[in-house]
């Protein structure tokens, strides 16, 4: 069944990357303005953050975990080709259940992700092709009712 490519629930933005040394800092404004020890996991929006290398994914996870209170640090998780198949599946399952709220990923997450309620799909840096941008952005708002924000930071 071809449901078409019309996705009126998606909103597209491109911005200049301000923090080239630590790009994920440019996405902190996507998190709630006030996060403290009483903030529930559900208040952190579901995000897919795409990077062009496994190292950049790991660095982003480390930075985000340092920015969050202790009880929210486990809601940020990496996803890349160096993970076991079991680890990848566990990540998707926990992301779908809402336990994991932010996945920092490489292209390894492109085709396998069909989580319906991802609010933000953010690409850090310029991918290798336009089709990669489309693939990554297509992970947001897959249920077609969740407003999805697609952001390219270059």
Burial class (CB in 10 A: 0-12, 13-18, 19+), 132: middle
Architecture of domain 45-153: 3-Layer(aba) Sandwich (3.40)
Could you tell me the pTM of the whole model? 0.91
Q: In the beta sheet, which residues pair with residue 26?
A: none
Instruction: In whole angstroms, give the CA distance from residue 24 to residue 17.
Output: 9
The per-residue pLDDT for range 87-115, each reduced to its tens digit, is: 999 999 999 999 999 999 988 776 666 78
114/64: higher pLDDT = 64
Mean pLDDT, the chain, rounded, equals 89
pLDDT in tens, 2-19: 445 678 888 899 999 999
């Amino acid at each position: 069944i071809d449901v078409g490519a019309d996705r009126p629930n998606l909103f597209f933005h491109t911005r200049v990357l301000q923090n080239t040394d630590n790009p994920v800092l440019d996405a902190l404004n996507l998190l709630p303005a006030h996060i403290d020890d009483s903030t529930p996991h559900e208040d952190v929006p579901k995000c897919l953050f795409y990077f062009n290398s496994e190292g950049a994914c790991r660095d982003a996870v480390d930075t985000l975990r340092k920015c969050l209170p202790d009880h929210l640090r486990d809601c940020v998780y990496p996803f890349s080709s160096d993970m076991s198949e079991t680890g990848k599946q566990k990540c998707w399952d926990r992301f779908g259940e809402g336990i994991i709220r932010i996945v920092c990923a490489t292209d390894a997450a492109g085709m396998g992700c069909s989580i319906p309620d991802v609010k933000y799909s953010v690409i850090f840096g310029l991918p290798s092709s336009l089709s990669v941008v489309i693939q990554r952005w297509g992970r947001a708002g897959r249920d077609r009712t969740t407003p999805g924000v697609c952001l390219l930071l270059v």
